[in-house]
Amino acid sequence: MSEMTPEAAALEVATRIRNGSNFLITSHRNPDGDAIGSALALQGIIRKLGKTATVIVRDDFGKPLHRIPGADGVLIADALPADYPDAYDALFTMECPEHERTGFPVLPGPVINIDHHLGNTLYGEVNFLDLDAPSVGEMVLQMNRHLGVEIDADIATAMYVSLATDTGFFRYSNTTMRAFEGAQEMIRAGADPAAVSLWINESLPLSSIKLLGLCLNTLKMFDDGRIATLELTNSFLSDAQASKEDAEGVVNYGRMIDGVLVSAMFKEVEGGTRISMRAKPGVDVQKIAASFGGGGHKAAAGCFIPKPIEGARETLIPMIEDAVKGVTPS
């Protein structure tokens, strides 16, 4: 479990792909655009080499992501195939700072960890970690330089979904020159930005808009308007006839408010509260999440607190107040 430069690790990943024939690809629970996009992009590349790759995730994902070519072939299962690990040359964990995030017992096994999150625990046989990468799908594009597979429109689309969603459609601080260079390559290979934006941003299920309304009604402001909180209780899910995936992105609404530095969403779950946080530049919410055993990156992180929503908020607010102390919105 050594730490390698991203360049050396990318070459190692490519070598493992070239030398193997049968692969599994997974990602984190409640997969988002980068999870599914990067997994499908990698699957497409491996298949173009005439090899076998299966994408398997623990939870279903939003309808918009099902529009990525190949998404309907993703296995959604409670367990890994019974022939894991023996029958596989590698299992790729896409975008998982800890192996537990997969929701599967992936270790012991030939795990290749591909991620861009600060705090990744380097649990793989190969750890391809690139903190400067705008998305994990973009890391797949970089890794492919060693394989030389021609990126087709389907692969490019999966990569573009990963890049566009993880950068908030080219708005967040990871919207670097590298992000645009990656986008350029993907678009040249056939990704259609307008179509992807329509699927992701303007094809939301009605239930998700109803759920958003219920969550927005719980908006509370703290620390002179520098912290916003939102809540999601189980009754909201039933009232809006919504699924967990419909809550994806609700936390961002708190951050849209002028003067807010951190938005935190408190979600009622079994045994306590699951918290997602979003921060404006200058604030590090990953540190807060890590103190509860959670993870993420500076601008977006999550954790679990074994208390009901109210108790979790009382615990967390002082810590966020500390984190935003002295920071001025830029």
Sequence-distant contacts of 53-56: CB under 8 A, at least 24 apart: 53/22, 53/23, 53/24, 53/25, 54/23, 54/24, 54/25, 54/81, 55/25, 55/26, 56/24, 56/25, 56/26, 56/80, 56/81, 56/104
Residue 10 gets the label, from left (phi > 0), alpha (psi -120 to 50) or beta, of alpha
The nearest distance, CB 130 to Mn ion, in angstroms, is: 11
Q: Which of residues 85-114 bind Mn ion (CB under 5 A)?
A: 95
- The least distance separating Mn ion from the CB of residue 83, rounded to whole angstroms, comes to 29
The whole-angstrom separation of Cα 11 and Cα 142 is 10
Shortest spacing between CB 167 and Mn ion, in angstroms:
9
Alpha-helical (H) ranges within the chain are 6-19, 33-48, 136-144, 153-166, 177-188, 193-201, 206-216, 234-239, 252-255, 285-290, 309-324
The amino acid that residue 167 corresponds to is T
Taking CB atoms, the residue at the shortest distance from Mn ion is 34
Instruction: Report in angstroms the alpha-carbon separations of 47 from 20, 71, 162, 226.
Output: 12, 15, 19, 48
Taking CB under 5 A as the binding criterion, the range among 31-39, 78-86, 201-209, 214-222 that sits at the site for Mn ion is 31-39
- Looking at 126-134, 147-155, 164-172, 315-323, which segment touches Mn ion (CB under 5 A)? 164-172
Of the candidates 276, 301, 303, the residue with the CA atom closest to the CA atom of residue 292: 303
Q: How far is the CB of 209 from Mn ion (least distance, A)?
A: 25
Q: How far is the CB of 325 from Mn ion (least distance, A)?
A: 28
Instruction: Count residues binding Mn ion (CB under 5 A).
Output: 3
Pick one of 154, 166, 245, 246: the residue that binds Mn ion (CB under 5 A): 166
Instruction: For the CB of residue 135, give the shortest distance to Mn ion in the complex, in Å.
Output: 5
Of residues 248 through 307, those in contact with Mn ion by CB under 5 A are none
Q: Are 185 and 157 in contact (CB under 8 A)?
A: no
Stretch that binds Mn ion, among 49-57, 83-91, 162-170, 237-245 (CB under 5 A): 162-170
User: CB under 5 A: which stretch of 121-129, 166-174, 241-249, 293-301 binds Mn ion?
Assistant: 166-174
d(CA 159, CA 183): 9
Stretch that binds Mn ion, among 61-69, 96-104, 165-173, 213-221 (CB under 5 A): 165-173
* Binding residue for Mn ion, selected from 25, 30, 34, 249, defined by CB under 5 A: 34
Q: 12 vs 95, which CB is nearer to Mn ion?
A: 95
Q: Considering Cα of 163, then 169, then 174, then 180, what sign does the dihedral take?
A: positive
Closest approach of Cβ 166 to Mn ion, in Å?
Answer: 4
Nearer to Mn ion by Cβ, of 34 and 98: the residue is 34
CA distance 182 to 141: 8
Is 138 a binding residue for Mn ion by CB under 5 A? The answer is: no
Interface stretch with Mn ion, choices 10-18, 32-40, 46-54, 140-148 (CB under 5 A): 32-40
| Residues near Mn ion, by CB under 5 A | 34, 95, 166
